[in-house]
Amino acid sequence: MLLVLLAAAPLSAGARTEASAACAPSVAVALDTLETVDDATTAIRVNVSATAAGSGAANQLIRFRFIGVTNGIVQADGSVIAVPSALELPPLSRGWSLVLSAVDRGSPFQVVFVARDQGGEMAKFAGVGSGRVGQAAPPAPTPGTTRPTPPAPVVLGAYNPTFPDDTRSLDRYERLSDRRMAIVHWYVLWVGWKSDFRRDDLEAVYRRG
């Protein structure tokens, strides 16, 4: 099952203004399944693109920083990418793709990276959770043995700078991941945007389900 948690706050501080919102990083991620083995996804393509800036001007991807990888190998243009590492993109790059492959097939795998566009940096991760379609139940334990503890479920959440005022992007996240969002996350600024408790924000997320 695909898991996509696509966001972190821009790596900056200060009061939220219309000008700063227009210059905020705007990076989108989409996944394609490249390989499956016994109904389990073992390789995906991660497509990263710079979306339109708030002013309507064309946006560009500038740099990637690979923070960590779990049970995976990261490749781009046919070469393995070391993790951690940094990669500068050619000028005028609007999009870029990498391939993430599982080392231990059947187990979860993911990559964590920071993408920089003309608005700043934004942290992302992409990967695949555990489980197989139509997976058979484990055999009953024989006397004197114990059944292995199943892996804990993975909780999927999302962050978007428009939360909690506009939660429509949750519909797209849920289509991509084929799961309901368990966490809807937003940041507040001390003595700034959303610093005061707003019950209506929580009620809006609760009403959505």
13-37 pLDDT tens trace: 334 444 444 568 889 999 999 998 8
- Provide the pLDDT for residue 192: 74
- Provide the pLDDT for residue 194: 72
**What are the residue ranges of helices labelled H in the chain?**
18-22, 169-177, 199-208
Residue 179 three-state SS: coil
**What are the residue ranges of helices labelled H in 100-183?**
169-177
**What are the residue ranges of helices labelled H in 45-107?**
none
Q: How far apart are CA 60 and CA 25, in angstroms?
A: 10
- Fold type of domain 2-130: Immunoglobulin-like (2.60.40)
Q: How far apart are CA 202 and CA 179, in angstroms?
A: 21
Query: Backbone phi, then psi, for 107, in 5-degree steps?
Result: -105, 155
pLDDT digits (tens, 9 = 90+) for 89-98: 999 999 999 9
pTM metric for this prediction:
0.55
Cβ–Cβ < 8 Å for 127, 3:
yes
Q: Is it the case that residue 153 has pLDDT exceeding 70?
A: no
pLDDT digits (tens, 9 = 90+) for 110-144: 999 999 999 899 899 898 886 443 334 455 555 66
